């Protein structure tokens, strides 16, 4: 072998040794962060555990092979194959991924994805040349060398493609509790400081946001989409007419609704009139209410007078006002009370009713006639509510110990469910989790997990409620009202 060829093989071997040695050591030194990065890969999330260990192991083995002269050729084959795998990975990221992460990370973190792609191609080329020189020196034909080199590189690329396709199916449809955080799905646009921290969302449309207030339940605060306070509307209500204990307000279309399920009272009025009229009185006691449409049709969560279990009911107010119980809507697991607890929402775009269980990984989607269309799952693995209760002599239930919370606040808009989760998934940053609320996004018309987003705390104030319109996501954290602009990763899923 002439001096140039031997030097080229030696240079290439040392180059790959340095590259993989540094890469594997840096991964080992910051292994938790490396796993988090793989877990957030738009292609390989579902296999983060296996891949995080496998990549390090392969890199270390390649370094060992390259350092032993008799095994150097095998090490060069391995180097070329793994760089081909990295190359096809970046190609898929750039062309077929739902989003492109900020950077590749690793040894060449300062490079962009395109630059990293060219660097990898360069490594494949010099690796292939070194393999040819080494094999020709050993007496192997160029055709057998080319065939073996082509086969090893094709297999490594096919392995990445297989992982990508199967990972997409696992993450979006058969998720093993690995979250995928969308790349900048929302961008903070404006913040308005409210006069107190008792506000919640009563409703929203593309022009205005309506805030109810726990402490001042007869008040509705109206802000326009530029976050300017338009007015404080005070509803005329005689608080002495009934023993009100839980007054709440909701806004839909041109009407507002003020109600208290503990006294079976619902009143409604036009937004330009402060005096409401009775819609329903003494027809149904309830613990939660959602307005289905502007024609006084409601979804209620109430309690069976016979079994004391939670049940969903419909109330259609008109000439023949009627309450109808839907006994099969909720599915009891233990006591039928705490295990059936959840959040009741209505999609304002189509009238679909969505009920998200609080203590298990399921949400129910029904049409406006209460016909259940889907029983879908959130991505966590808590399929059975971890609640333990005892039945009291009066037939009521009491919890023996605090339950495991699974789902928190939620909102629905245009067949997307935005659901806050209490459970940390696999390969997630503990620090980021501590400083944020996590919201998972699901389709309501199919078994599909879209992705997740962080809702950052505002100092000691945590996000307590959210609502979505065609352009914005609004959040309340303490006395902060935050407006986020929706970006492409979410907008493309809004129907």
Helices (H) and strands (E) in the chain, counts: 8, 26
Q: Which residues, 6 or more positions from 371, have their beta carbon under 8 angstroms from its beta carbon?
A: none
Q: Is it the case that residue 366 has pLDDT exceeding 90? A: yes
CB count in 10 Å sphere of residue 242: 15
User: 468 forms bridges with which residues in the sheet?
Assistant: 473
**pLDDT the model gives residue 429:** 78
* Residue range 139-157: mean pLDDT, rounded: 85
pLDDT of residue 277: 94
Q: Model confidence over 425-481: pLDDT tens digits?
A: 887 878 888 899 999 999 999 999 999 999 999 988 999 999 999 999 999 999 999
Cα(152)–Cα(135) distance, integer angstroms: 15
Average pLDDT, the chain: 88
pLDDT exceeds cutoff 70 at 186: yes
What are the tens digits of pLDDT across the range 255-287? 999 999 999 999 999 999 999 999 999 999 999
120-136: average pLDDT: 89
The count of C-alpha atoms lying within 13 angstroms of the C-alpha of 128, restricted to the half-sphere facing its C-beta, is 18
Residue 422 confidence (pLDDT) above 90? yes
The CA distance from 33 to 20, in Å, is 18
pLDDT of residue 308: 84
Question: Predicted confidence band at 415 (pLDDT cuts at 50, 70, 90)?
Answer: very high
Extended beta strands in 132-241, E state: 186-193, 199-204, 208-213, 219-224, 229-234
CA distances from 396 to 301, 308, 387, 391, 399 (A): 16, 7, 15, 6, 10
Instruction: Report d(CA 380, CA 329) in Å as an integer.
Output: 22
Q: What is the pLDDT of residues 79-110, one digit of tens each?
A: 999 999 999 988 888 887 666 655 454 555 66
Question: What pLDDT, in 10s, does the model give residues 195-241?
Answer: 999 999 999 999 999 999 999 999 999 999 999 999 999 999 988 88
What per-residue confidence (pLDDT) applies to 93? 80
Stronger pLDDT, 240 or 36, i.e. the higher one: 240
Q: pTM higher than 0.85 for the full model?
A: no
- Cβ neighbourhood burial of 20 (10 Å; 0-12, 13-18, 19+): buried
CA angle 200, 463, 418 (to 5 degrees): 85
pLDDT of residue 98: 64
- % of the chain beyond a pLDDT of 90: 59
- Identify the pLDDT of residue 329: 96
Q: How far apart are CA 209 and CA 326, in angstroms?
A: 32
């Amino acid at each position: 072998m002439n001096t140039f060829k031997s030097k080229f093989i030696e240079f290439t071997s040392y180059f790959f040794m340095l590259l993989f040695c540094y890469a594997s050591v840096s991964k080992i030194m910051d292994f938790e962060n490396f796993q988090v990065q793989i877990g957030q890969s738009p292609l390989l999330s579902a296999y983060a555990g296996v891949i995080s260990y496998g990549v390090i192991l392969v890199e270390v083995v390649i370094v060992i092979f390259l350092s032993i002269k008799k095994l150097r050729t095998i090490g060069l084959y391995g180097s070329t194959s793994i760089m081909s795998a990295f190359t096809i990975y970046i190609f898929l990221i750039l062309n077929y991924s739902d989003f492109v992460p900020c950077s590749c990370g690793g040894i060449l973190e300062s490079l962009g994805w395109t630059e990293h792609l060219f660097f990898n191609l360069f490594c494949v080329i010099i690796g292939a040349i070194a393999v040819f020189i080494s094999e020709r020196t050993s007496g192997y034909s160029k055709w057998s060398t080319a065939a073996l080199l082509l086969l090893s590189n094709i297999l490594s690329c096919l392995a990445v493609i297989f992982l990508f396709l199967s990972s997409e199916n696992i993450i979006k449809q058969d998720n093993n509790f690995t979250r995928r955080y969308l790349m900048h799905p929302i961008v903070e646009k404006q913040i308005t400081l409210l006069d107190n921290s008792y506000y919640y969302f009563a409703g929203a449309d593309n022009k205005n946001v309506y805030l109810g207030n726990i402490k001042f339940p007869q008040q509705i605060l109206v802000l326009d989409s530029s976050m300017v306070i338009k007015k404080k509307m005070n509803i005329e209500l005689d608080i002495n007419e009934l023993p009100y204990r839980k007054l709440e307000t909701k806004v839909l279309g041109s009407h507002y609704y003020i109600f208290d399920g503990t006294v079976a009272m619902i009143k409604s009025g036009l937004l330009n009139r402060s005096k409401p009229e009775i819609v329903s009185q003494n027809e149904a006691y309830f613990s939660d209410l959602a307005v289905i449409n502007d024609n006084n049709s409601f979804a209620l969560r109430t309690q069976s007078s016979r079994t004391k279990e939670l049940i969903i009911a419909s109330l259609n107010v008109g000439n023949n006002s009627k309450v109808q119980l839907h006994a099969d809507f909720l599915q009891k697991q233990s006591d039928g009370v705490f295990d059936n607890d959840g959040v009741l929402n209505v999609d304002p775009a189509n009238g679909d009713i969505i009920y998200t269980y609080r203590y298990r990984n399921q949400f129910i989607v029904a049409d406006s006639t209460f016909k259940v269309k889907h029983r879908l799952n959130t991505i966590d693995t808590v399929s059975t509510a971890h609640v333990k209760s005892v039945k009291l002599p009066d037939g009521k239930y009491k919890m023996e110990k605090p339950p495991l919370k699974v789902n928190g606040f939620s909102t629905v808009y245009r067949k997307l469910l935005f659901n806050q989760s209490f459970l940390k998934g696999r390969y997630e940053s503990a620090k980021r989790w501590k400083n944020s609320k996590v919201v998972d996004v699901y389709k309501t018309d199919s078994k599909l997990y879209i992705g997740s987003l962080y809702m950052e705390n505002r100092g000691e104030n945590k996000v307590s409620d959210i609502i979505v319109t065609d352009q914005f996501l609004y959040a309340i954290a303490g006395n902060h009202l935050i407006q986020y602009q929706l970006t492409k990763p979410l907008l493309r899923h809004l129907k």
